[in-house]
Homo-oligomer: A and B are copies of this chain.
Amino acid sequence: MDEKDDRRTRKRLATRQSISDTATRLFLERGFDSVTIDEIAAAADVGRMTVFNHFPRKEDMFFDREEEIQALAFDAIRKRGPGVSPIEATRKLAHDLVTQDHEFVMLSGDTSWFIKTAMASEALKARAREMRDDFTRALAIVLADTSNQPTGDPNAHLAAGLIVSTWNVAFSEAQKLFDRTRDAGEAKRCFLAVIDRGTAGAAAALAKTAYA
């Protein structure tokens, strides 16, 4: 009863999409902080409350694909091959994403406007940190779950923390390098180098546990 294909649902999604598109355009034109909700509502030709109806927080209009990213990681862990540790599965995921030039890696001129716009706003950086925390918590649960360990196992939280920290550093260092050199190949090598180092560290930390 949730994903019905009736006109009501179509209209709701159309309205949502229209707001999202309008907001994204304005954010890129003038920066996140200097666009107000009222402007977005006016530009999308909807009432102010309709905006909050679809996006409880202003930041939700910018980060609209959190769940997809989480699902990508959790799938990689859940569907890993036999004999592959969860930590190794995250390393493999990083390499796969880079070799198939996945859009989420965003090491190209096409997508770095997204990073730049996000990094220019304290509010968006705060939301990104919150998402990172939520992801870390959820990752710990998935790790424990797929390794037959009790929920809340401290080692699962340590593993999740080290992995997320590694990915975070890998992303930001690769992005910095790309900004400096405009060389996507070099940036990708940097990304994977950090991933490999960090993952090796996580594996060492979790040696003799179910996670490595």
Q: Which residues of A contact B (CB under 8 A)?
A: 125-126, 129-130, 133, 152, 154-155, 157-158, 161-162, 164-166, 168-169, 172-173, 176, 190, 193-194, 197-198, 200-206
Contacts and interface: CB of A to CB of B under 8 A. Distances in A.
Contacts of A206: 197, 201
**Considering the complex of A and B, which 6 residue pairs feature the smallest CB-CB distances, nearest first?**
A201-B205, A204-B204, A165-B165, A161-B165, A129-B129, A201-B201
Contacts of A203: 201, 204
Given A200-B204, A204-B201, A204-B204, A168 B161 contact: yes
Given A125-B130, A161-B168, A161-B198, 10 more contacts: A154-B169, A154-B173, A157-B173, A158-B197, A158-B198, A161-B166, A166-B205, A201-B204, A202-B205, A203-B204
Contacts of A157: 169, 172-173
Nearest to A180: B152
Contact of A162 (B133, B172, B190, B198): B198
Contacts of A129: 126, 129-130, 133
**A interface secondary structure, majority:** helix
Contacts of A168: 161
Contact of A164 (B165, B190, B198, B200): B165
Nearest to A164: B165
A109 B125 CA distance: 34
Contacts of A125: 130, 133
21 contacts: A125-B130, A126-B126, A126-B129, A129-B129, A129-B130, A129-B133, A152-B176, A154-B173, A154-B190, A154-B193, A157-B173, A158-B166, A161-B166, A161-B168, A161-B169, A162-B162, A166-B205, A197-B205, A200-B204, A201-B204, A201-B206
